[in-house]
Chain A
């Protein structure tokens, strides 16, 4: 295992779908995020075993019975859903068109590891799980709108929940 902040030919070759950024950006000009800078790291104030953890996901996972994510709108859906961290996987469903769900359809933990997180909590690896995880869809044509609205709203909700750590998973 190596830590690398710079692109490496060897590891890029391992990407199953090479050139994804360029492909999507060619099809949907400007829809892909590109940053020239990095954000300063927030420092952990306590051990993970004492932290409150939330899972963020572009998977489109949502509780059955909540308004389905809008997967057909031509410029995307900038809303989010709260998924109770104690939810039964059978009470959740996926509304998303843009990634293969054949694995997640059989075991949701492949994309949304809600059961594994509960196990880590029960074992004391992580302090506690936030009452809710947060989900949205990845199909959004305007990264500026996404940063100004969805990202700020979810970050604000996490701060309100006094979350220490967020595991943020793009599908």
Chain B
């Protein structure tokens, strides 16, 4: 039983040590509601959904994208990335986030 390290401290330590495996596991846990296997599938699902949205080459607002990337700070863009992940997963119609962690 781990009682000492707080989760945030654990993550910060992983960043400092360049512990890529721990960070990947954490991201998968987060987007997989506690299951790294589910998380890996969810990440694939989001990317496939994004690909499907673009495959017929619909018009997109590239100016908006450019302005956003240039006009926002790194953390805001990273936060947006998480939002977009869940947005795309929801759009796929297959939603596992019903609280059954």
Contact = CB atoms under 8 A, between A and B. Distances in A.
A143 interface: yes
Contacts of B3: 30, 34
B7 A141 contact: yes
A27 interface: yes
Interface string A125-153: 00000000000000001111100000000
B1 A25 contact: yes
A58 to B, nearest CB: 12
A106 interface: no
Interface residues of B, number: 27
B2 interface: yes
Interface residues of A, number: 27
B82 A73 contact: yes
Contacts of A23: 34
Interface of B: 1-11, 26-27, 29-30, 33-34, 79, 82-83, 85-86, 97-101
- Top 8 nearest A-B pairs by Cβ distance? A142-B8, A31-B7, A100-B99, A99-B99, A141-B7, A30-B6, A97-B97, A72-B82
